[in-house]
Structure 1
């Protein structure tokens, strides 16, 4: 039987030693491995075109389309404007995804926004994104999805309760987080297979909604569309918040960029996956909302905590139970995709020297970043202690918009700074300018509307500045601390049977 000692001994020549001060560049970062070469010990390229489509579609279609129509309608005021918001949100998200296609093929490194911000604006700005992703965006976003899954999977078990018991919800959420973390640690193909299956399930659920709703509409039930723009709220702040809700439901279109180093032929498959996924999701979302509004009145939608379940109660008869089941499938697949993609961010951050090198270890058997996945899983489970999920969603939306703004600004800056740089895909300059303006609008306006919540988010970002200078940038490190981290790294390698990625010359 092969032991950890045998593996580490045999593969010692392939291991990259813990970065010392001499391995750091002038800015204090560890020089990353060259991701352009396929040789050496590193994450494997196992994701094809349809895997990429499954990741994008599977992450975007989470709980949002089954729940968010209430928020969009509430702030827009009318059915007509709500449909416009959904359509335009899809188009804007597609524009953003095309901008990221240029970034992802120009800078073919995993880590998504972290890699692009680092390339354009340097290590401090990139570390601040990594810091916020570590503290807020990734674990909190996954926690919200896990809790949504638990709520819906428990609804049939507690039919007489308005809400399932809180302890049961949190326990189920913790179990599903641990299970999917194990799946992602075990095999990349397992993780993508789970993603493909549950993506198909959630698309099937939305197709059922669309077919049932359009049938209801085409059989003469046009009452809800008689005055589509009646009660429209033309207040600018409310209008912007409606778009905020719509765009939040499209969140995840940039997650394939987090795993671009594991994508086969990324120059071809990244843009193709985007061009297949985004129009598909936009059309499905738009038609699903047409179906919702055809069956449910404005008052019924605004009073519903889960629009898809209310729709099922009205249209599906004895099959009503399928809607909570499909919503649970949807959130399960979305959580799996979130764990898969976001763990690669921490892996790349550790490889760059912005997180402990333990998180840059790769399992020698499965070629998965096991320590990074376990760390993310523990952070996500820890977030289950929180109760105010709505406030956390606001933090996520604001911080994601802020750093997407920085990434698009980086694209524009690199266009100016390095006009002759090789760009396999080069989008029309109007696209990044338009998306930059939209992101700027989405960052500034919520600060005016919710200053306290977003002030906390800004505070968390600001704390990252002293953390960077004291823990990352400072050249002088305690010899005792370095020796301790060497031992921790070795123990982690033994326990996870992992090595650091081989640095290319």
Structure 2
């Protein structure tokens, strides 16, 4: 049972962290860093900064193993007002907005992948939000199984790119200077900030603290091992890209760098497979957020910090799933998708 919960948390960690950022940020990070060596270092520093934050949350989470994560921590440490503001921001704005934005961008890739018209974008996004939301109303094992599938789906194209770039690339990843990418000057701080987008989402694992057996052991391990593994993956894929493509070409390609690499390495089918991998990756991201954000709604409702708290705090008798809170997040994400079109 210990292994099951630890394995589930690792899949949740990968699902919430690895999204589309690593596929599209190579060009912008390189441009900001100024040279290839500093670009690689930016991904490493971004991962280390994320890991230091993870160590902090792991320590707090071990002492406060409650459902709700950051909202509960802030309220218990700094008072109800600050906790309420943090929780309200996450459940009303950030959570639904990030789910809608990821679903919206994913739907663009889906229409391109299947050759559909732009008018299919919003319907596809809404169906994805609804389907993944409904799936998370069942037992945690259902969401865990989907996390396993999406994690494998996203790691396969990443592994292919890493292996091909490292072993078949012929450029020196550390030897490409600012002059080669025609950048006037590097801004390492901006490059690190750009990488943090790729690491975003790790803290949501703490929202499940109250549902984990032995949280004092599993939660810190899941956070620390999860972030460390992602740091290694991001560094390797960056080195692989720089081994296969010169910095000047990455600068020109920008967000299309990884897609170009996949197509060049594996032919036209490679670009299709990469698109499929990104779509699966983003489904995993939505799944991770749809699993974790309702826990904040539930925690706030338990503390009477939301209207209709009696209903929002309802748990199913058998699975102990916050179904009403999940519906709440689905509705808000749907509204943002339709009216704000993120």
State TM-score, norm by structure 1: 0.63
Alignment partner of 1:269 is 2:221: no
Aligned to 1:310: 260
Gapped runs of 5+ residues in structure 2? none
Aligned to 1:345: 296
Structure 2 distance, partners of 1:130, 1:276, is 26
Q: Residues 369 and 297 from structure 1, CA distance in 2 versus in 1: closer, same or farther, beyond 3 angstroms?
A: same
Whether the aligned pair in 1 keeps the contact of 2:71 and 2:296 (CA below 8 Å) is yes
Bigger share in helix: 2
Aligned to 1:436: none
Aligned to 2:331: 378
Q: Which has the higher contact order (CA 8 A, sep 6+)?
A: 2
Alignment partner of 1:181 is 2:181: no
Structure 2 distance, partners of 1:106, 1:280, is 24
Structure 2 distance, partners of 1:200, 1:308, is 19
Map 1:150-169 onto structure 2 (within 5 A): 150-158=107-115, 165-169=117-121
Structure 2 distance, partners of 1:85, 1:386, is 36
Q: How many residues align?
A: 335
Alignment partner of 1:369 is 2:322: yes
Q: How many angstroms does 1:167 deviate by?
A: 2.5
State TM-score, norm by structure 2: 0.92
Q: Residues 116 and 47 from structure 1, CA distance in 2 versus in 1: closer, same or farther, beyond 3 angstroms?
A: farther
Whether the aligned pair in 2 keeps the contact of 1:304 and 1:310 (CA below 8 Å) is no
Aligned to 1:464: none
Alignment partner of 1:143 is 2:100: yes
Give 3-state SS (helix, strand or coil) of 2:305's partner. coil
Give 3-state SS (helix, strand or coil) of 1:186's partner. coil
Q: Could you report, residue by residue, the CA deviation over 1:59-110 in whole angstroms, capped at 9, with x for unpaired residues?
A: 1001111112222123222222111100111111111111111110111111
Q: Residues 387 and 376 from structure 1, CA distance in 2 versus in 1: closer, same or farther, beyond 3 angstroms?
A: closer
Alignment partner of 1:83 is 2:33: no
Q: Select the residue among 51, 59, 62 that pairs with 2:19.
A: 62
Gapped runs of 5+ residues in structure 1? 1-44, 159-163, 390-505
Give 3-state SS (helix, strand or coil) of 1:361's partner. coil
Alignment partner of 1:245 is 2:198: no
Q: Could you report, residue by residue, the CA deviation over 1:188-213 in whole angstroms, capped at 9, with x for unpaired residues?
A: 11011101111122112211110011
Aligned to 1:213: 165
Q: How many angstroms does 1:372 deviate by?
A: 0.4
Structure 2 distance, partners of 1:379, 1:46, is 35
Give 3-state SS (helix, strand or coil) of 1:185's partner. coil
Structure 2 distance, partners of 1:334, 1:364, is 27
